[in-house]
């Protein structure tokens, strides 16, 4: 049974604009699915006559934790711009494999593509984003078409990708970096680090890396990669993916913010004085015009 909670939220933005949004919560995206096979839709209460662009958001948490409610200001500011914001849950490690987890997110995206018109959304204008582990999943879905296509979504429907402070766009490199750091400076080797999470197989590590699947003429959308400059791993990974995308002729911007941290970078998105938010909104304007 669909669980729906609708309410009005008044949001005073930096421009002085006051807007209201409606939340439709815990919508199941798989029939007879797991309790985490649910998503939330936020939409403006004053809806446009034209179908509204959609932001599809994937939470972080190391693929082991996190919840679709961890969205901060993003639904409010997105709906204030006349767009729909969707946040999804998915099953978590170690209860499922990374393949099953990724397929959950792709299934949620497929549900949104097929159903969002019923909520006023445009299934041909979807921006995919996510934070941390969600950044890896967002980048993979937007570069490896197999996941989305399995659930009826062409990459042509994805008009933008916004991964936020991920460190796993090139998984073999982060595994080597992390394990070398442990070896050089002491400390026990990881028992459930990136190597194990992504299947403990060199082939799987390559296949789960967004950089592996970037190539010209694959309908890969433009990217905005946000990262915290104080973290050398997320900095290097963002710059690595941006360079691979640019080499393939795909528009990509890597934007670093220094006065923040891994969590705060995500939490501050929506603050009108925040430099990353300004890049966030500018990206919307570019890909949706």
Does 147 reside within a domain?
yes
**Rounded to 5°, angle at Cα 275 from 270 and 266:** 50
Does 107 reside within a domain?
yes
Round to whole Å and give the CA distance between 265 and 255.
11
Distance of alpha carbon 220 from the chain centroid: 15
Round to whole Å and give the CA distance between 25 and 56.
14
In 3D space, the residue among 147, 165, 96, 157 whose CA is nearest the CA of residue 126 turns out to be 157
Does 190 reside within a domain?
no
Q: What share of the chain is helix, strand, coil (3-state, %, to 5)?
A: 40, 20, 40
Round to whole Å and give the CA distance between 212 and 162.
18
Which structural domain range is residue 98 located in? 9-170+209-288
Per DSSP, the three-state class of 286 is: helix
Q: Tell me, what's the pLDDT at 18?
A: 44
Q: What is the CATH number of the domain that holds 116?
A: 3.40.50.1820
Model-level pTM greater than 0.85?
yes
Does 139 reside within a domain?
yes
Q: Tell me, what's the pLDDT at 186?
A: 87
What are the residue ranges of helices labelled H in 44-193? 74-80, 98-115, 133-141, 145-150, 171-185
Does 182 reside within a domain?
no
- Total domains in the chain come to 1
Q: Tell me, what's the pLDDT at 3?
A: 43
| Each residue's pLDDT expressed in tens, for the chain with a length of 289 residues | 344 444 344 443 443 444 589 999 999 999 999 999 999 999 999 878 899 999 999 999 999 999 999 999 999 999 999 999 999 999 999 999 999 999 999 999 999 999 999 999 999 999 999 999 999 999 999 999 999 999 999 999 999 999 999 999 999 999 999 999 999 998 889 999 999 999 999 999 999 999 999 999 999 999 999 999 999 999 999 999 999 999 999 999 999 999 999 999 999 999 999 999 999 999 999 999 9
Q: Tell me, what's the pLDDT at 187?
A: 83
């Amino acid at each position: 049974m669909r669980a729906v909670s609708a309410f009005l939220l008044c949001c005073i933005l930096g421009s002085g604009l006051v807007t209201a949004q409606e939340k439709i919560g815990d919508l199941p995206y798989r029939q007879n699915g797991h309790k985490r096979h649910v998503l939330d839709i936020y939409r403006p209460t004053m809806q446009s006559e034209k179908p509204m662009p959609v932001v599809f958001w994937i939470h972080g948490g190391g693929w082991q934790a996190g919840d679709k409610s961890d969205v901060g200001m993003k639904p409010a500011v997105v709906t204030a711009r006349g767009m729909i914001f969707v946040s999804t849950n998915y099953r978590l490690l170690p209860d499922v494999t990374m393949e099953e987890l990724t397929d959950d997110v792709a299934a949620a995206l497929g549900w949104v593509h097929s159903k969002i018109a019923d909520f006023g959304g445009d299934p041909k204008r979807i921006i995919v984003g996510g934070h941390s582990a969600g950044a890896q999943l967002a980048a993979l879905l937007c570069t490896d078409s197999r996941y989305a296509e399995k659930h009826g979504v062409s990459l042509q429907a994805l008009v933008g990708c916004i991964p936020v402070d991920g460190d796993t766009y090139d998984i073999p490199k982060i595994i080597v970096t992390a394990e070398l750091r442990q070896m050089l400076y002491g400390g026990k080797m990881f028992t459930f680090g990136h190597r194990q999470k992504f299947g403990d197989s060199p082939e799987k590590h390559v296949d789960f890396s967004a950089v592996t699947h970037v190539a010209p003429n694959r309908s890969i959308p433009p990217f905005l990669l946000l990262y915290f400059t104080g973290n050398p791993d997320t900095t290097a990974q963002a710059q690595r993916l941006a360079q691979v995308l640019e080499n393939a002729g795909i528009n990509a911007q890597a934007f670093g913010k220094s006065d923040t941290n891994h969590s705060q970078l995500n939490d501050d998105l929506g603050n009108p004085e925040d430099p990353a938010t300004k890049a966030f909104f500018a990206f919307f304007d570019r890909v949706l015009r």
